[in-house]
Amino acid sequence: MADEERMAKDLYTAIAAKYPDATTFTRIASSEQRHEERVLALLDRYQLTHPSTTAGTYDDKDVQKLYNDWLAQAQTSESAAYQVGVDLEKADVADLRTAIDTSDNADLDQVYGHLLTASQRHQAAFAAGPGATPALGPNGQGARNGQGAMNGQGMRNGQGAMNGQGLRNGSCLTN
């Protein structure tokens, strides 16, 4: 999950650099930074190794491929960039739901629940598209209720948060 949150932050930061007037990406990248910090705090609590910190570079080949593909898609147009945001958040929502459903750890469930709510709001903001009034506050946090998630598939379908298999099968914590 740390790699997924970092990938979202890195991707939205790169998109914001390409389309500086699309402020939704800047706000949500800031929010993704906070999400990454929350997940890293869990890794510290459970004495697990942190993933790489080099922007745009990921140890997990699946996360790397998603980043590369989404970045290339986002470079084609601002509308395509917003679709990338929708797709990424839709995948994140699905992965977080799987993580929550399969976790038996209250610490993980609490953090994942917060991340799920934020991802649903991010998805709604991206779905509104370019020129829309963002449904986000100044720090990328949701500013209003009622922004439910759309159904979608996870980045990789699979099993829960604690099986130590990394992101390849939908796991949230790695060895």
The third-level CATH classification (topology) of the domain covering 2-169 is Ferritin (1.20.1260)
Domain ranges of the chain: 2-169
User: What residues contact 158, with CB distance under 8 A and at least 6 apart?
Assistant: 98, 165, 168, 169, 170, 171
Q: What is the pLDDT of residue 168?
A: 30
The size of the chain, in residues, is 175
pLDDT for position 147: 34
Q: How many Å apart are CA 144 and CA 72, to the nearest integer? A: 32
Is pLDDT of 170 > 70? no
162 with 42: CB under 8 angstroms?
no
What's the pLDDT tens digit per position in 71-126? 999 999 999 999 999 999 999 999 999 999 999 999 999 999 999 999 999 999 99
pLDDT (tens digit per residue) in 10-61 = 999 999 999 999 999 999 999 999 999 999 999 999 999 999 899 999 988 9
Task: Over range 133-160, report the average pLDDT.
Answer: 39
Structure tokens, 155: 């980045």
With beta carbons less than 8 A apart as the criterion, state whether 2 and 39 touch: yes
Element of type H or E holding 106: helix 106-128
Q: Tell me the pLDDT band of 132, cut-offs 50, 70 and 90.
A: low
In Å, what is the CA distance from 31 to each residue of 26, 105, 138, 159?
9, 24, 10, 26
Query: Tokens 């890293």 belong to which residue?
Result: 40
Please give the pLDDT value at position 119. 97
Most distant CA atoms of the chain, gap in Å: 44
Torsion, Cα 62 63 64 70, to 10 degrees, reads 110
